[in-house]
Structure 1
Amino acid sequence: MQPLGFGDPIRLGPYRIAGVLGEGGMGKVYAGQDSSGRLAAVKVLRPELAHNRDLAQRFLREARTAQAVTSTGVARVVGSQTEGGRPWIATEYLSGPTLEQAITDHGPLDDVGVRALAGALASTLQEIHAVGLIHRDLKPANIVLTSSGPRIIDFGIARPEHGLTLTTTGQAPATPGYGAPEQILGQRVSPSADVFSLGAVLVYAASGRRAYEGAHVAAVQYEVVHGSPALHAVPQALRALIAPCLAKEPAHRPHPSAVVKAFTPPRGADRFWRKGTLGRQIKEHEARTDQLTTASGTTVPGVRPSRRLFLTSLAAGGAVLAVGGGATAWWLNRGPDLPEAADAAPAELLTSGEYERGVPPTPLWGPLKAAAPSASMLLPVRDVVMIAGLSGGITAHRVTDGRQKWTLPRVSPSAGVLRLTDEQFVAADATGNVLAFDASTSEQRWSVPASAQKLLATAPDASLVYFLTNDDEVAAVDTEGRKVRWTAGAPAGISVDPAAVAGAGPGRLVVCTADGQYFALDSATGDVAWQLGGHAGTALTPAIEERIVYVGGKSLLALDLETGDEVWSASSQSLNPDQDGWGSPVTTDDFIAAIDDGRLYRVDKASGTDDGHISWLDGTLPSRTPPVVQGHTLWIIEGGTSSGVSAFGNTPGSESDGDLLWTYEPESDGPWHAAGADNRVFLLNKGSLVALPVF
């Protein structure tokens, strides 16, 4: 790790930056540590690239997509955000050398090592593909060897399965010699492309030589497309197993499950990573991780920091890649329990289908009678979606299949729950204490004595949790200091009650009261920064992005977050904007989506101009309900005489942009509640919970 230099940040989101792990043409990777002592690798896009809006948005969009992967065989994405105009992605911190480093230092793996590596990587690829993703850049530098086995890192160019290969000018879709030929040609890429990359990785692991070599990139490309892989240095017993993975035709490559079966290692192979020369090298990396944790000086007493070191490569983007030999007997003689094609889609895939116009998609799971009929709480975090339990407290259901995972009976649902980080959420108990929990396990992380009546918002860097007290004042909990930082009253003449809603941005908390009064408090002191009175007729949730806050009401306003000064205004088309004006807005890539007078509009972020309403449902859309953005769709809750949830196309320039795709309205009336995450939208209606796929 290198020390920080001029221009390097000292903090990114919840992470205190300790040093530089590496850098490349796209950006830098820093070692960071959060308030609980956990280490992470934080990858930041270079400043000159951050100004490219398309690249910056894709950087964060793909990070959010990759968060759907919860396999233990990957370095999971644990956070992503734009800060100071520069997007960053945080991933797990792993302890161990990359496969490339290990082979360079100690030579090829033996038969047991290659079989253990192949089985572990193929199993992880199955889990990656099961959530609709393709890694697209599997290579020795993107595999970290830890004491618990190999882990796949860097989802920098991972994309949903249905996506074409996309690159910026001058970039190649993957690393030369490891990518599949269809990636080179810009064709549709299936999961079998990762199987090809796996084959090239195994050639390197078994022989210490690349499967395809050449004097320059073009020569490697030629060998990949027209030549055969160099397998002469691979032991004969392994050669017949690896060759099918390098088939030129995607359909001739084995499914990852077939790879797992074919490479079955001997009993006890899982200990391979903890013994011998390689085991000692991994232990050395773990020792350096411990030193890094100690040196950073931020470990929270009583919390054991993660012993994981993320070693990654930020390449500028390599060239085009690879194909290989034909299938051999072990693949052709696969058992009847294996898929008929290498790219056969697992049942869990979410993103490879298409909507049928006018027909709601089949639910992934549910409806489940899981909550009280009046329940409205709905929050997906990590691998669970949380609701108010039937018998009190909150209950978490797995996002993949809807099965109940845990319950917290002592948590008060009426106070609400909020996402704190991509791994943690905050809640309150019956006495008003503010509590933080691990979303996946429900393990309590910390508790702060308070008098919380309702949780309002969390700061973007997870440093503060804002709440309404039992005395109807606003307060903030310092998540690092584990104490209430300040308590403040509303501006004179404004009253706050549990119907109030809020949003938080850098340095500000913006509150909207039950009668539509907006005001902003300074995050550091609780002092009133600005206020906007009489603008709305009800509580409307503000949308905050970087230094701008968007608010609904008599007009849709973009305000400077720090000062409250108007940036632009969009008038309401309603004859009575006091009652039927702009509702709660939500931000998309380039637009603000909001409902005005029962119609859904999309408004340009920069100018406030709209491209016309994109829906007309006879004024049935309730103005106060913010749309849900997920994938290439906008989901809205209907009101009036209708009841249900509708999805609209949200891909500017496409044929279906702005069109009503379908409406989901089973035999139940409102109210409906919706939340989206990881290519899923969760709906709650009178205690019934259902998950729908997003394409």
Structure 2
Amino acid sequence: MPFPLAHDDPHGFGPYRLIARLGSGGMGTVYLARSPGGRTLALKTMHARIATETAFRTRFRLEADAARVIGGRYGAQVVDADPLAETPWMATEYVLGPPLDEAVEQAGPLPEATVRALGAALCGALGQLHHSDVVHRDLKPSNLMVTAHGPKVIDFGIARALGDDRLTHAGAAVGTPAFMSPEQATGAEHAPAGDVFALAGVLVFAATGRGPFGNGQPADLLYRVRYGEPDLTGVPAALVPVLSRCLAKEAAERPTTAELATQLHDGAGEFADHLPDAVLAEIGRRASEVWQVVPQRLPAPPGPPPTVPSAGAPARRLSRRGLLMAGAGSVLGVAGAGAGVWAWLGAGEPAPGPAGPGYTEPKPGPSVAPVKKKQLDSVWQKQYGGPDDDQNPEVPLLAGDQVVLVANAGARGVDAKSGASRWTLSLYADDSWQVASDGTRVYQIARDEHHDANGSLRSVTWFLARVDLDSGKAGKRLAPVSYDRDNGLISRLLAVAGDTAYLAVSHGKIKRYERQLPWSVTAVNLGTGSRKWTDPLPFHSAESDENHFLSAKVTGHLLVTLQQMNDGTVRIAARDTRTGKVLWDKPWKGADRRFVRDPLTADDRHLYLGYGPLRALRLSDGGQAWDTSATRPGKTYGPPVLKGGVLYAVEKGLGLVAFGTGSGKPRWAEKSAEGPRADHVVHPVIGSEYAYTYSHTDKLLRAVGLASHTTEQFYKTSGTRFTAHEKSGMIIASGPDFLAGFPLR
């Protein structure tokens, strides 16, 4: 679904004119474009701020190469590309059809004949890749477009040549957990048999509407992929033995794509003959819709939601050619409705589509579908992309009347009340630890380049600077971070409190991996620029670029940090902010380093931990003051939030629960029927009248009355992390594509 062009989008790339945005993520933006001859194209770009990184640019080039290998029969034909441009770009054909996940959402689980034809065609696509020694590595429903002529495989962002490990490190699981192969889930070599495993998972989804290993957190999915049996309930009986073999844990037991194709389909008939009517109608609608888009660069204030008229009496059954053409007439009707398809647009919201059978609400954006109780919309929504890595869900920083979104080697200052962008700032690494806030001001690690008389780069030094919240520019140097002799090695800004910044700084000779370098924690006086103290981290060399730190917080006279060790375990360390001495250091048993990156919660006595029983550790010595195992045995909680001396957390399978901080005894528990659907791993937001919890399944932010202990309001949201901005009275919802503001009450 097209979106308006942003005000700072270029007019085109190469000879191609931009018409609209199709989407934006962590790596770049995809546009709808037209060639000088009028051909409609999809034009994919890489964010300029990460194009300076060799690894990202290499990945983009390999993606273009893989797309060329699969060609126009099984993929989006590459028309043109310039991976060496300042902003790398690639132009491909515009695929006329919905992604498989949307097709199943609209039409329901697909008939066996459709699944078989789909699978056989995808075997041909993967076979063509594999014959060229390329593996896809991220086959999933959203990466498969359904057209009238057959499926097309898209998004080769992590595809690579067999045996090429230049862009991944051993032990790193890369892909989508729900559709990974067991070997991929362990970070082992993903060969063609791994793509066969993923293809079987896609076909299970097509036949049932769900993946073979269910839903849930990435860690749970990876465990089921490696050790659990696939759930083939609802798969047509004749397909069960075929897909079971493809889902074998041992790669050698799976069939090749050629073998699988013969077991799925005999190749007779046109692909469109096997598609359900609803899917054919959607293909026809999209084919016509693309010609109705008019280039616009309008601001995106929230507008009134469209009203969906009733479908009325059942329409007569159309011919299959008529189904393909049905979308054309309905879209032409919308285009002639007077105001134009873009006139009503909200911030980043899509244009309205046709009403009637098979119609789905525009997304992403506030929902207009009625739900129980009172549903409201966001105050504002903007297409500002945040981190798209589910295993590293950063939340915006707070700074006065602004929030600062840090993602993809950049930072953006946003007015919390209106959502207006105040400024943008380029960073030198795709690392959120380059920026920190004390709640009022924002600080960054900036860099100076030193050149010789011939203009060649001689060395790099890093320094701390305060960000001007009006312009986004770095102010004067407050303190040096590294010196010439350090050769500009890596540094991380952990926290800022009062007149002190706390950093992790590497030193020594340059190594290939970050964890082959010695590191120290240091405190810097922002007034004088001097270092107050430096404390070396215990050194254990490892071939890894994993950050040592997961979270950090200054509370009282302690700097409390979560640190991930080389073996993947997590430790909690508390340093005296006056001396740097570690006062206590203990393991967080059972903590998964991928899911404990939330801001730490502490008061003047305790550090509060979730992800298991809710626990309170004494700040004085790290000992356990209490946990909920006694009062609520066997219950699991997500990250807690502290407000007004009360501790709040979501209990898995129940909903919001409030606890006393001194004893850990429950004060009250949510009574809503919707409570069990709340995601316990997403920390709640607490206001004066309501507490807010999130349900990923429903994509709803729910307002739970602090007096009634029941759900009173709903907000439809595309965000996945939520931050309270009390000064503006707003909840900031962040996600990989959008930032939105909801009222905090």
**What is the TM-score when the length of structure 2 is the normalising length?**
0.39
- Normalising by structure 1, report the TM-score: 0.41
Flag the structure with more relative contact order, 1 or 2, with Cα contacts below 8 A and sequence separation at least 6.
1
